[in-house]
Structure 1
Amino acid sequence: MGEDSLISIPKQDDLQLEVSKIWEDVIEWGKAKNPTLPTNLNEWTSDNFLSLKETLKEFLPHIRYFNFSNTDVVEKIYPYQQLLEH
């Protein structure tokens, strides 16, 4: 899927997908664009997170973070917190 097509997904107001699924797919897309990233997230450096953040910079502002459940925040967003602005 191309970047323009992918970025249009989180922008849609009538989206039928769960926001956590969109997040997972965007993260996986970003990882695929950066094949040198370690597969084990525990081995990631700050530079690894910066690389992924740069790849996803057009997507991250369109994710509806307020729609995540508390569990999803802990399980899916927290491990990637370095991608987000405070």
Structure 2
Amino acid sequence: MGKDRGREVWQREKVSSPCVNVCVIHPEARLCTGCLRSLDEIAGWSRMSEEERRAIMAELPSRGPLKATRRGGRRGRLSRG
């Protein structure tokens, strides 16, 4: 039992992902404005096979681009009044 044996447990293949760390859900399209995935796709991503992820990633360009819309802040409060 060497020092490297314990490290094997924590090593795994990197899961390919279209995530760009811009996590804003578009209110009408219900897709992330950063990666264009649905909430269900995001939630199940780590459980999908590489083939399933590749199929979704191939479809993503046809979904966007989506413009993020702000619903809060001063402008949002003024428009509600």
Give me the TM-score of the superposition, normalised by structure 1.
Answer: 0.24
Tell me: higher relative CO, structure 1 or 2? Use CA pairs within 8 A at least 6 residues apart. Answer: 1
Q: Which has the higher helix share?
A: 1
Give me the TM-score of the superposition, normalised by structure 2.
Answer: 0.25
Which structure: larger Rg? 2
